[in-house]
Structure 1
């Protein structure tokens, strides 16, 4: 049955408001992961951190995020998307205060782990919440708004770090001020989500059709809301007749295992592009490239700006450009950028006045390629490829592996770049990106242009692979 067409009205504004409030989780995700970029240098001096403990402070959030991702997905399946996001906002606030008042390395790591639990849960629950609220025609751009807010959060972290660092220098606990700012959007997320609705697809999955219709009717026309609920009910009824999707049932179904492996591959590949090495340690990389400490804080804003521009372009592409083609182009571009960074580091030795600027340009090109073609596409695809009854579990496992890859990269990157320099590090990233390109070409199916219910049917039968990967 075809759905009635989308039409503008008060429901359109309401949908936009719900998406805006929910994506404060993405804003906090971006700020919390990137504020460490500028806070590390003064923190290293005050807390007397080594290369390893510096990596532990950074990766504490990331290991916490791995746990938060997998538990957040399961919690949201059982407890609801909305309540899970409210809980996340509390963890964001508590974690921020713990870090701000941390007297030593140990308490700092505890605070970072608490923040990580919130970040990981946000990375799992918010994209699913948005995908389940969105009409399928604009699902890509609506779900992609979370990634947009992530990069805005990253840019805000870079700008605030640059202002605070250049005004107050690196002493007097300046890093505590940088970390304190994150408490503000945490409060806004908590207050805002108290007035937001639950996911209609989650409600329907729990047999609460009246509540689901009530929510859909505030986000669609009445006719469209009724038709969508009928389609959701048909999908969930057919799925319930097949099997109850416990973890064991998921693992016994080869198509579900395969789609989970695709999700894990996409998540890990995204992290091993090296994007977060730049986002977490950009100041260190730029110092290695030849910039002074104060100049590195300022020019570090450039990758943040290009990330936001790339995310804006990506949002416009999501509803009009095939996902597979986006991934293939993105990994091809990031591979080329990494090769050029490695070659530029060899061709322009330390002391060459052109070296820092050429490497900055190539790093900005890499970040732009990543944000335009890979980041938004990855999170949107993860939010839509899993069937309803395993969606929380599927995205939870995928994002758990994503955060583990991120955490180990964050933990060991200071050691790796100290040992191999920019040249060896980015040549290594080039090899990994080339492998990711091959993986996408061989394994990742197309998801654009299907309702979540149609995707569920195609994934459950394996038709999604036959239809897309033979092309």
Structure 2
């Protein structure tokens, strides 16, 4: 059992785990690079002295400075909230592939607008560009996980959707260190702060180029009645012929799921809305997806992402060391996200990761908050950190190492896989908009929270992380290795904490029956396996 070994729901040809599936996931995940970069660079860029000088921050009160910084940050999240909802009609009518292309165009236009901002023009172009870019990334946060999950074999679906999260962290890592580089090596002028804004165009450019080369989601094509194109794309992605048993089984499962959905929900644009309003089971699952992002943002991670200088200052770290610590924060997140993607998500499972990450993260935040309460380093600065201060920094990075491979990406994986094909786009729109709603609220009020609550901010987030443990244990079933077309059955099983084991046993029994049918058919009819497959 190697580090990349996976547990399969059925025998899978090795060709299925090929380079094409990883390439498609990587191209789509350029959208998450755009998101991650912004979350890392914007909080540090507005703290650059060149930015503050150009927009005359020193002429304002501290309250107004906090308000302007919060507006610059949170307008992006406000745009992303509406972009996540806007992605539903784009994905429904245009598909996943061209929906991602539209996402890249919108984001690029927004990033270009930001480059026109300067001291004489004021914040108008900057605000408008932040909203437009937010609409782009909000759409991308909806479409990318759906696209990847619809391409993925069940055994590595978590790993592939995890590439979306890895792209987020790589973008964040670049964002942290770009700011450190310009602050250390460029003079304090307009170019110093505009360069971090310009770098946003790199991931969006890669997305626009890459989308032209990727294939449309076969599951979306099946749903639109474009059967031959769907089979062709599926065979290309799996590197198997359409007569292979694995492909026949997959097509059979997709057809069955679409047939059931046509009978229960329908395929029209408004049918998922009607199903959500009339079917309590669908509404419950939408609520679970919505709440997963509530708990994710209530961990405090986005307060740290967007305002890392403020966070490190509260621990007692200032000057260039503050920026270096922010950069190391980005490195830790990226490294542990890689471990999550390669090993944890498809072996440890979704539930265990969320529960373990919440417990470890909460303990770390309690310790950090206690240190700040006792020492109050921001108001009692020292020339050198003492052992208690070093301990607080260690636990800050332990918190990061606990959160990043658990709550950072796992809610995206869960929301991309726990809905039926016809509900998937609407459900992802609800989940993504939930993420950006809570993201907006956190980014909007974090400066005021630190100003008013001090060490209490850490206790606040630590308490909410403990509550999330109970939510996951009682309401979220394990989904690893379960085909997308069997999620309805999974969520109907009780109790929740035993549902995964039960459905895996059922799937293996069904697989054995199907393969036994192949043997019986070929034995009693004197036909080859390929003839049976064609008949099936």
Tell whether the 8 Å contact from 2:31 to 2:140 is kept in structure 1 after alignment. yes
- In structure 1, C-alpha distance between the alignment counterparts of 2:173 and 2:216, rounded to whole Å: 30
Tell whether the 8 Å contact from 1:303 to 1:368 is kept in structure 2 after alignment. no
SS at match of 1:300: helix
- In structure 1, C-alpha distance between the alignment counterparts of 2:441 and 2:186, rounded to whole Å: 32
- In structure 1, C-alpha distance between the alignment counterparts of 2:88 and 2:391, rounded to whole Å: 42
1:4 deviation in Å? 5.2
Residue in 1 aligned with 2:445?
A: 412
Residue in 2 aligned with 1:437?
A: 469
TM-score, normalised to structure 1, is 0.94
Q: Choose which of 250, 275, 279 in structure 2 pairs with 1:249.
A: 275
Q: Which has the higher helix share?
A: 1
1:364 and 2:403 are equivalent in the alignment: no
Q: Choose which of 130, 154, 162 in structure 2 pairs with 1:112.
A: 130
Residue in 2 aligned with 1:29?
A: 35
1:84 and 2:84 are equivalent in the alignment: no
- In structure 2, C-alpha distance between the alignment counterparts of 1:61 and 1:299, rounded to whole Å: 25
Structure 1: 5+ residue stretches without partners:
none
Residue in 2 aligned with 1:343?
A: 370
Residue in 1 aligned with 2:289?
A: 263
1:466 deviation in Å? 5.3
Q: Choose which of 38, 55, 60 in structure 2 pairs with 1:47.
A: 55
Residue in 2 aligned with 1:167?
A: 185
Q: Choose which of 231, 234, 239 in structure 1 pairs with 2:261.
A: 239
SS at match of 1:195: coil
Q: Choose which of 337, 344, 352 in structure 2 pairs with 1:325.
A: 352
TM-score, normalised to structure 2, is 0.83
1:469 deviation in Å? 6.5
Q: Deviations along 1:218-258, whole A, 9 cap, x unmatched?
A: 11122233431221111101221123233022221111011
**CA root-mean-square deviation:** 1.9
Residue in 1 aligned with 2:250?
A: 228
- In structure 2, C-alpha distance between the alignment counterparts of 1:77 and 1:467, rounded to whole Å: 34
Tell whether the 8 Å contact from 1:35 to 1:154 is kept in structure 2 after alignment. yes
SS at match of 1:372: coil
1:307 and 2:339 are equivalent in the alignment: no
For residues 99 and 357 of structure 1, do their structure 2 counterparts lie closer, same or farther at Cα, with a shift above 3 Å needed? farther
1:99 deviation in Å? 1.2
Higher mean C-alpha deviation, range 35-44 or range 331-340: 35-44
1:6 deviation in Å? 3.0
Q: Deviations along 1:47-92, whole A, 9 cap, x unmatched?
A: 2452111101000111111111122134212321111100111122
For residues 63 and 283 of structure 1, do their structure 2 counterparts lie closer, same or farther at Cα, with a shift above 3 Å needed? same
Q: Choose which of 486, 495, 501 in structure 2 pairs with 1:454.
A: 486
Structure 2: 5+ residue stretches without partners:
1-8, 58-64, 502-536
For residues 105 and 241 of structure 1, do their structure 2 counterparts lie closer, same or farther at Cα, with a shift above 3 Å needed? same
Q: Choose which of 275, 284, 293 in structure 1 pairs with 2:301.
A: 275
Tell whether the 8 Å contact from 1:74 to 1:396 is kept in structure 2 after alignment. no
Q: Following superposition, which runs of at least 4 residues in structure 1 exceed 4 angstroms of deviation? A: 464-467
1:145 deviation in Å? 0.7
1:7 and 2:14 are equivalent in the alignment: yes
Tell whether the 8 Å contact from 1:72 to 1:124 is kept in structure 2 after alignment. yes
1:286 and 2:312 are equivalent in the alignment: yes
1:156 deviation in Å? 0.7
- In structure 1, C-alpha distance between the alignment counterparts of 2:180 and 2:46, rounded to whole Å: 13
Residue in 1 aligned with 2:415?
A: 382
Bigger Rg, which one = 2
SS at match of 2:409: helix
Residue in 2 aligned with 1:213?
A: 231
Tell whether the 8 Å contact from 2:150 to 2:217 is kept in structure 1 after alignment. yes
1:84-233 alignment, distance < 5 Å? 84-103=99-118, 104-168=122-186, 170-220=188-238, 221-222=240-241, 223=244, 224-233=246-255
1:283 deviation in Å? 1.4
- In structure 2, C-alpha distance between the alignment counterparts of 1:4 and 1:380, rounded to whole Å: 23
1:467 deviation in Å? 6.9
